[in-house]
Structure 1
Amino acid sequence: MIDFNSLPLLSKIILVIGFTLGIISLIIFLRYPIMLILMKYNPKYREFIKKTLVTKKTKK
């Protein structure tokens, strides 16, 4: 295992940016399954999504 404190500053920055991009891409990839799970278990969220979709359709 690599000791994070022993790395040079540039390597630390690149490592942090890489992990941040990975986490963001994972969240974007799992956005729809997360929404489906929330809609299944939370009726208030389901109603919020329905209202949001209706307002988006009326704006177009």
Structure 2
Amino acid sequence: MKKNQSKAVSMTSVTLAIYLALSPDIHLDFSRSFQLQSNGVATSNIQIELKKIKSGEFAR
């Protein structure tokens, strides 16, 4: 049962990725940062911003 569930989730992810890539009204912004502090602690951040733009507007 788990195998079928993971396959369905991966197909949903692929479908969503294709939709976002082909949609002219959606702008996707991705940024990643990594910070190493003086005490040796490492911090990694990923930020994804999804914007729906109106027809005729340019994404900034």
> So what's the TM-score if we normalise by structure 1?
0.41
RCO higher in structure (CA 8 A, sep ≥6): 2
> So what's the TM-score if we normalise by structure 2?
0.41
Normalized per residue, the structure richer in strand is 2
